[in-house]
Structure 1
Amino acid sequence: MKISEIKQALAEVEAVNFRLPTGEYLPAHFHVTEVGLVSKHFIDCGGVERQEQVANFQLWEAGDYDHRLAPQKFLHILNLSEKILGTEDLGIEVEYQQATIGKFGLTFDGTDFVLTAKQTACLAQDACGIPAAQQIVLPQVQTAGGCTPGGGCC
């Protein structure tokens, strides 16, 4: 999800709800404690220099059970963050505290914002020797007469 997409969604919803990949909702009293710009400048294992930038939202919950983040307030926070994010339509990454700080992608299902699982990956598979997936051929199973001990089908 990009900044423009979340702004459009916030203009359409009556409440801001975040759902984890498990289907569990974040408590309604969560806070958006940070909106920031995260830049990553790195070299992959194949020696290719790369750069990434994302808008980062940090979600947090505390004992403030009366707090509810209205869509208009979240939109206001995003507009203020343009000082840091600039006007580029960045992708969004979300941090949320669980056993450790979890990093998630973000989608919108028309009602709720859904945190999506992120995975690591090798960006230079062709350069660092990772073999292509091999196709496994399974033996044909005999169906007529069933399996018998020593028959080779079991």
Structure 2
Amino acid sequence: MKLSEIKSALAGLKEVTFVEPSGKLVPAHFHVTEIGAVHKHFIDCGGTERKESVISLQLWTADDFDHRLGAQRFAEIIAKSEEVLQLEDLDVEVEYQGETIGKYGLEFRNGAFYLTPSQTACLAPDQCGVPASKPKVKLSELQNSCAPGSGCC
């Protein structure tokens, strides 16, 4: 989800709700502790130089149970971040504390923001020796013997 999409969604809301991938609600007294531009410059396992940029949005919950972040205030925090940091309209990555800090994607549906699981992946599988997927073989089509190179295992 891009920053502009978050701003559009906030325009029609009074309350802000985040939902964890498990379906559990992020406690209503959450804080947005930071919004930042994150630029990553790296080399993948195949030796290719890469650059990625995202906007990081960090959520945190404390023991101040009376705290509530309304949609208008959230929009103001985003506007200040855009002004000070000169943010581009990039994808937003959400950091939220579970057993450790988790990084999530974000979707908006049914009036709520949903934290979506993110995955790691090899960016150069052809360069670093990641084996191709084994072909699926029907057991009924196998011969009685399993010889090396026959594809049965």
Q: Same fold (TM over 0.5)?
A: yes
Match runs of 1:115-154 below 5 Å: 115-140=115-140
> Counterpart in 2 of 1:36?
36
2:42 counterpart letter in structure 1 = F
Gaps of 5+ in 1: 142-154
2:112 counterpart letter in structure 1 = D
> Counterpart in 1 of 2:46?
46
Name the CA distance, whole Å, in 2 between partners of 1:2 and 1:85: 16
Name the CA distance, whole Å, in 2 between partners of 1:12 and 1:81: 20
1:131 counterpart letter in structure 2 = P
> Counterpart in 1 of 2:70?
70
Contact 1:55–1:85 under 8 Å retained in 2: no
- TM-score, length basis structure 2: 0.88
Name the CA distance, whole Å, in 2 between partners of 1:85 and 1:50: 22
Query: 1:60-111: CA deviations, max 9, x gaps?
Result: 0011111110000000000000135424211000011111111111111131
Contact 2:32–2:60 under 8 Å retained in 1: yes
Percent of pairs identical after alignment? 57
Name the CA distance, whole Å, in 1 between partners of 2:121 and 2:52: 15
Residue 140 of structure 1 and its aligned partner are, at CA, apart by 2.3
Larger radius of gyration: 1
Name the CA distance, whole Å, in 2 between partners of 1:36 and 1:87: 8
Name the CA distance, whole Å, in 2 between partners of 1:103 and 1:13: 24
2:7 counterpart letter in structure 1 = K
Query: 1:100-150: CA deviations, max 9, x gaps?
Result: 111111111131100011111000011112122111212229xxxxxxxxx
- Going from structure 1 to structure 2, the CA distance change for 1:63 and 1:87 (only over 3 Å counts) comes to closer
Name the CA distance, whole Å, in 2 between partners of 1:76 and 1:133: 48
Contact 2:14–2:72 under 8 Å retained in 1: no
- TM-score, length basis structure 1: 0.87
Name the CA distance, whole Å, in 1 between partners of 2:87 and 2:37: 12
> Counterpart in 1 of 2:24?
24
> Counterpart in 2 of 1:151?
none
Supply the RMSD in Å over aligned alpha carbons. Answer: 1.3
Contact 1:30–1:62 under 8 Å retained in 2: yes
Contact 2:56–2:93 under 8 Å retained in 1: yes
- Going from structure 1 to structure 2, the CA distance change for 1:53 and 1:84 (only over 3 Å counts) comes to farther
